[in-house]
């Protein structure tokens, strides 16, 4: 399997160029972030369909909502840390309450900015966006899923928040020849003893952990929840009932993200044990994404050890 070919943001740009050529109403708005979002190609190919707002994240959301009201199909690309925090009032009122077809792309999400620290980490975006009515929340695992996701989003009329990382990620899928649907989780690997439920770039880490465990005779499945809202409760319940042990993995605060969504779903289930692996409720140490994943136990090796402890009955 070819790995680390391109970042998810580059896959997004390729799809938006293709879809933009088909539909002149598709617009991309950036907040001085076309480089960070890998949208230079879009600006070159379709300059009349790109709107540069500058560093004004609250304005960019309201402008996009106005364009959507006029029948345009705007995609906003802005750093996730600012888009999901600084602009949340505009997202709540101008986009969601008004139910406008705006796609909000939070770039460099999670701990992508690494050493820039808490001011540039976006570890609360799932919590706040999934609590807002009408707003879909999506996180692709790799370039193939990014392409599928943005093809679907280009033809969707629903408001949505999409988080993308900054760096190239390893492939989870072998190619783009598979069925994708917003709101439908994907079982990446089958398992009988335990299920990893992951989202975004942690899907690859969960798959790595499953492969490590397989060498030790442990059968661990992986469920990729690429859509946090609408949430695929049926898929989560089915696999939880099957393996009885669930580990959720997310590049987010331990509070109110994927782990919380799974816990809410499984609240009435019996004989199912869940462990949430996420970033702790504190200002994180600084470092690169891989360093932070290792330090806080979100990498494949750490997840495999956590799974072994869980199966032995420890915590």
Give pLDDT, residue 32: 87
Question: 77 near 107, Cβ under 8 Å?
Answer: yes
Q: Decide whether 8-163 matches 186-312 in CATH topology.
A: yes
Q: What is the mean pLDDT of residues 5-11?
A: 84
Q: In the structure, what pLDDT confidence band is assigned to residue 5 with cuts at 50, 70 and 90?
A: low
Give pLDDT, residue 210: 98
pLDDT digit string, tens, across residues 226-259: 999 999 999 999 999 999 999 999 999 999 999 9
Q: Return the number of other C-beta atoms located less than 10 Å from residue 193's C-beta.
A: 17
Q: What is the mean pLDDT of residues 164-173?
A: 92
Give pLDDT, residue 238: 97
Q: In the structure, what pLDDT confidence band is assigned to residue 315 with cuts at 50, 70 and 90?
A: very low
Question: 114 near 89, Cβ under 8 Å?
Answer: no
When the pLDDT of each residue in the chain is averaged and rounded to a whole number, the result is 94
CATH architecture under which domain 8-163 falls: 3-Layer(aba) Sandwich (3.40)
Give pLDDT, residue 234: 98
Kindly list the domain boundaries of the chain, sorted by start residue.
8-163, 186-312
Q: 186-312: which CATH topology? A: Rossmann fold (3.40.50)
- Chain CA centroid to CA 49, Å: 25
> What is residue 126's DSSP assignment?
H
Q: What is the mean pLDDT of residues 131-158?
A: 97
Dihedral sign computed on CA atoms, order 295, 224, 165, 32: negative
pLDDT greater than 80 at residue 220: yes
Give pLDDT, residue 4: 55
Closest CA to 165 of 90, 119, 113, 209: 113
Give pLDDT, residue 176: 82
């Amino acid at each position: 399997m070819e790995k680390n070919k391109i970042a998810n943001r580059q896959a997004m740009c390729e799809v938006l160029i293709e879809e933009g050529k088909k539909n002149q109403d598709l617009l991309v708005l950036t907040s001085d972030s076309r480089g960070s979002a890998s949208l230079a190609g879009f600006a070159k190919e379709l300059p009349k369909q790109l709107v540069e707002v500058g560093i004004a994240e609250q304005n960019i959301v309201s402008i996009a909502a106005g364009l959507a009201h006029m029948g345009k199909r705007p995609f906003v690309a802005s750093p996730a840390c600012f888009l999901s925090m600084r602009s949340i009032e505009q997202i709540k009122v101008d986009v969601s309450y008004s139910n406008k077809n705006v796609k909000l792309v939070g770039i460099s999400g999670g701990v992508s900015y690494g050493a820039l620290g808490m001011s540039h980490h976006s570890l609360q975006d799932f919590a706040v966006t999934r609590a807002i009515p009408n707003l879909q929340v999506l996180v692709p695992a790799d370039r193939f899923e990014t392409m599928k996701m943005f093809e679907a989003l280009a033809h969707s009329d629903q408001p949505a928040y999409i988080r993308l990382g900054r760096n190239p990620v390893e492939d989870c899928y072998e190619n783009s020849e598979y069925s994708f649907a917003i709101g439908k989780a994907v079982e990446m690997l089958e398992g009988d003893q335990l299920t990893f439920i992951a989202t975004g770039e942690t899907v690859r880490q969960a798959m790595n952990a499953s492969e490590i465990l397989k060498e030790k005779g442990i059968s661990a499945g992986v469920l990729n929840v690429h859509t946090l809202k609408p949430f695929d409760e049926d898929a989560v319940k089915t696999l939880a009932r099957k393996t009885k042990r669930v580990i959720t993995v997310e590049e987010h605060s331990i509070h109110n993200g994927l782990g919380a969504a799974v816990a809410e779903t499984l609240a009435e289930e019996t004989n199912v044990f869940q462990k949430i692996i996420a970033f702790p409720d504190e200002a994180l140490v600084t470092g690169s994404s891989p360093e932070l994943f290792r330090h806080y136990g979100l990498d494949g090796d750490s997840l495999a050890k956590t799974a072994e402890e869980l199966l032995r009955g420890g915590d």
